[in-house]
Copies of this chain bind each other. A is one copy, B any other.
Amino acid sequence: MSDKPKLIRDTDEQARTQARDLISQARFGSLAVIDPETGFPFVSRVALAVDTDGVPVILISRLAKHRQAIEQDNRVSLMTGEPGKGDPLAHPRITTFCLAEIVERGSQQREELRALFLETRPKAALYIDFPDFDLFRLVPQSALMNGGFGKAYTLNAGDLKTPAQTHPSDNH
C-alpha cells in the first residue's frame, strides 16, 4: 500500500472528449517556444484555428520572436482553456506538446487552412497573404490536461485526433 496519492487518472473516453474540446473550442492560447537568442522558454499569446483533424493552426510573421524560435526548434507547447469567473485554477486547461510544421505556400492544404483560419479570424484577411506571414500546423504529440483540482490526465497523439467518423467530409 502506497501513501502517495494517485496523481494521474486513467484516460477514458470522457477525458479524450474533454481534451479535444479544450483544443478545438479555443480561439487563442499560450504558445511556449525556446528563445533562440537566450535559451529561455518564451510564452506568448497566439490566435488559433483548428483543422478538421483536431490540429491547431496559427499564423505568424517572420518578424515575430516565436517564428524565429520555431525555425530553430519546432518543439512547442500550447495551453488552451481559458478561466471564467472564480478560481482560475479550478478551470480545465490542457497543455499540448506539438511539432510545428509550416504549411507550404501554393499547396492545396494552404488554401483550405487559409479559408479555415479566416472563418475563425476574419480580420486576418488584412495580412494573411503578406509575404512574411505563414500558417503553421501544431501537430500534437502528447498532452497534459488539468480538468480541475485533482483531475490530471496524460494523453497521447491518438487520444487527441478527431475521430474520423465525425468528419465525413474530411479529405486530408
Contact = CB atoms under 8 A, between A and B. Distances in A.
Contact of A41 (B7, B28, B34, B83): B34
A30 B43 contact: yes
A28 B89 contact: yes
Nearest to A91: B45
Interface string A109-123: 000000000000001
| Prevailing SS type, chain A contact patch | strand
Given A28-B88, A30-B30, A32-B32, A44 B79 contact: yes
Interface in A11-48: 27-28, 30-35, 38-45, 47
Given A32-B32, A87-B123, A88-B27, A75 B40 contact: yes
Contacts of A38: 75, 97
Contacts of A7: 63
A67 interface: no
A106 B97 CA distance: 37
A156 to B, nearest CB: 14
Copy number of this protein in the oligomer? 2
Interface residues of A, number: 36
B47 A88 contact: yes
Interface in A78-125: 78-79, 82-83, 87-89, 93, 95, 97, 123
Contacts of A33: 41
Given A7-B63, A65-B144, A83 B44 contact: no
Nearest to A81: B45
Q: Which of A33, A34, A42 has the largest number of chain B CB atoms within 10 A?
A: A42
- The 3 A-B pairs of least Cβ separation, nearest first, read A32-B41, A30-B30, A32-B43
